[in-house]
Structure 1
Amino acid sequence: MDVRNCRTCGKLFNYLSGPPICPTCANALDKKFEMVKEYIYDHPRVGIKEVSEECEVSVAQITQWIREERLTFAEDSMIGLDCEGCGVTIRTGRFCKACKDRLAKGFESLYSQKNSDKKSADPKDSARMRYLDQK
């Protein structure tokens, strides 16, 4: 059993997974998320600072929700983040489409290279017993 102090209120709780906050604070954070989502829906051209002030949520928390792709914005919105790969302005997530595609291709080529290495090894050689020559 993993018991921790809540990062928000300091209360002890049984930690299972995710952010180290107690269930009470997690429920309060979920309610704040719903409030932010509704506010953004009602005011589509609003900035992060205004959302933060109106909903009493930190800018860092709103940014985290955007990075987690829980919040998305229209193309004409004032809200934008920098892609962690190339720095271009994006509306949600961590990477732009070009960087996501580049990462996916890199993983695919790595995976296919690893599979081709396994196929190239002769299965007959790996099953034989080998002896060391003593000279």
Structure 2
Amino acid sequence: MAEVRNCPTCNELFNYIGTRDVCGKCSAKEEDLYQIVYRFLRKRENRAATVERICEATGVSEKLIYKWVRKKRLLPAMFPNLGYPCDQCGHLTYGGKLCARCLEKLQRDLQRVEAAEEFRENIEQSTRGTYLAQRKK
């Protein structure tokens, strides 16, 4: 079922059905800009261009380029200097929401929490002990 939303670019109302996050007009403009960027990157000398260089040469915003990389329309495998900012630190990443450093830090933190919980459980079990009362005959 369609949902009515405001276009984040032009603020017009449009029916959001899950495929596009902007209205039809803005989507067509974005597609035109995508073609400009893609044509720029297809040239051999531009394949290693950074996001800043692409913005400078084509006039397309960084936000749009990051959006296309996230949606895998521009692949870092084909264009090695393309990525998008990590949600945690802003460092460029090529997959997921976190860069390798932030992901590693998160995993270490989770391991510490798990180890602390295991330690607490062991302490609780050792202090609980079992006591048997003698039965009266």
1:31-72 deviations in Å (ceiling 9; x for gaps) = 111211111111112111010122222212212221222112
Q: 2:66 aligns with which of 59, 63, 66?
A: 63
Q: Which residue of 2 aligns with 1:18?
A: 19
Question: 1:15 is matched by which residue type in structure 2?
Answer: Y
**Structure ID, larger Rg:** 2
When normalised by structure 1's length, the TM-score is 0.53
Distance in 1, Cα, partners of 2:78 & 2:7: 37
In structure 1, the gaps of 5 or more residues are 100-135
Alignment of 1:35-114 (within 5 A): 35-42=36-43, 43-73=46-76, 77-80=80-83, 92-94=94-96
**Residue correspondences, number:** 96
DSSP 3-state at the match of 1:17: coil
Which stretch of structure 1 is more off in the superposition, 30-39 or 67-76? 67-76
Sort the Cα spacing of 1:73 and 1:17 in 2 relative to 1 into closer, same or farther, 3 A: closer
Tell me the secondary structure at the aligned position of residue 65 of structure 1. helix
Cα offset, 1:28, TM superposition: 0.9
Which letter does structure 2 place at the counterpart of 1:69? K
Query: Percent of counterpart pairs with the same letter?
Result: 28
Give the SS at the match of 1:21.
coil
Instruction: Label 1:75 to 1:57 Cα distance change in 2 as closer, same or farther (>3 A).
Output: closer
- For normalisation by structure 2, the TM-score amounts to 0.52
RMSD (CA atoms): 3.4
**Separation (CA, whole Å) in 1 of partners of 2:83 and 2:6:** 34
